[in-house]
Amino acid sequence: MLPASEGWQRLHPLSPLIRAGRVGFFVLVVLAQQGRAISGWILPGVALPATIGVAVFSWWVWRSTGYRIDGDVLELRTGALFRAHRRVPMARIESVDIARPLLARVFGLAEVRVEAVSEGGSEVRLSFVPEAIAIDLRHELTAKAGGVTIAEAGAEPAPVVPEREPAVRVSDRELALAYLAAPLTGLVVVFAITLVPLAAAGVDEFVGGVIASAVGFLGTAATLVMRAERLYGFAIAEVPEGLRLRRGLLNELHQTVPLARVQAVRIEEPALWRLFHRSRLLVDVAGYRGGNRESRRETAVLLPVATRELIDAVLERVFPGLRLDAADLVPPPDSARWRSPLRWRTYGVRWTPQHAITRSGWLRRQTDVVPHAKVQSLRVTQGPWERALDLATMHADTAGVTIAVQARHRGRAEAERLAWQSRAATT
């Protein structure tokens, strides 16, 4: 149990119910579907004791879980059977986000997610606390992480800075067109092309192809709908810590992007989007893992869909003075066509005094930008085929985890020159 005299705070008593909400819903659905097959004694003899057991264990876990801020350290105790005590120094905190899943919002609760520099699990989650406490925790943790003392001796506590009105709002119509209409249209075209030879093969083959295509289409459509739901209501507001992102329809997330920790940015232009002059902007933050690979990609989105003018305006906020012009990109030498026959024309690089810029991609074109000051290591690599053509690839490694800046298939001498230029820019 937690000693109350040492300043430990417990999570909200409804936290176990909310965390088990999805599992409980699934169990209820299964019981409802199998209701006729369950005899009269199973429900009172098995379901009721199991429910009581889960409730008692959840209460035990809740009583054993707590957090506190002890000076410049955030502490978290968890575990009923196997206990864990984690200490996170404020200086290692990268960002503090607030998530509001649907069930938590019903009870006015929120989850505080603390990203910290760590070799193991980087994320500390306080699930769940009242929304007002979550906002206060975010302010206190981000202030201390930035070296600001909340309450010094004889000083008034620092006032909570209200979040400003969003500087950028992405229209839901744009999101629907980009993440639902465009990919589903392309998918229908692909399925129609694959069904043409089956129509000539026979009725049975055609019907089987239609059924298989329909199943694949529905599965892909469900994935796209979930992705669009997570980006619904996307907005950007400027706050003292950097940029505050808000998104999500059922599960709302308030994410903070500290601009000082941004390592690189990427502009993605899918093939169908280029017809309407739309792109997305991704950002790579040092130490920000945000869960699994899919979660990291979602939290890396700085603008889900926008015009080039809007992307340039946000880029100016992230990297002041950056100007992107495709005409200034230098293509690879003609010998690169033998290494990458289809994509060699899409490769391009441009080195400015402050930034390294690379472009690649045929169907999905992407432009990567990294400041020379953020580069931690430089590598020039050659595969067997590149060595035969006297080509090389220059890699600029940063502290980020989602964007890898590469100048692909350049002349060997040019790749080494680019590496030396980037190194010289930081000295």
Using one digit for the tens of pLDDT, what is the confidence trace for 343-358? 999 999 999 999 999 9
Q: Is the pLDDT of residue 99 over 60?
A: yes
Q: Is the pLDDT of residue 154 over 80?
A: no
Return d(Cα 101, Cα 256) in angstroms, integer.
Answer: 17
Per-residue confidence at 150, pLDDT binned at 50, 70, 90? very low
**Those residues with Cβ within 8 angstroms of residue 154's Cβ, 6 or more apart along the chain or in another chain:** none
Q: Which amino acid is at 161?
A: V
| Nearest of 20, 19, 133, 21 to residue 67 by alpha carbon | 133
Higher pLDDT, 23 or 418: 418
Q: Is the pLDDT of residue 200 over 80?
A: no
- pLDDT tens readout for residues 247-289: 999 889 999 888 888 999 999 999 889 988 999 999 998 766 5
Radius of gyration of the chain (CA): 26
Number of C-beta neighbours around residue 303 at 10 A:
22
| Nearest of 188, 270, 190, 170 to residue 230 by alpha carbon | 170
Q: What is the token pair recorded at 341?
A: 């026959």
Q: Is the pLDDT of residue 187 over 50?
A: yes
Cα dihedral 34, 37, 40, 41 sign? negative
Q: What is the token pair recorded at 321?
A: 């003075």
Q: Which residue do the tokens 């930035």 mark?
A: 146
Q: What is the token pair recorded at 303?
A: 């603008």
Extended strands (E) in 240-399: 242-247, 252-257, 262-270, 279-285, 301-306, 348-351, 355-360, 364-371, 377-381, 391-397
HEC string of 200-231? HHCHHHHHHHHHHHHHHHHHHHHHHHHHHHHH
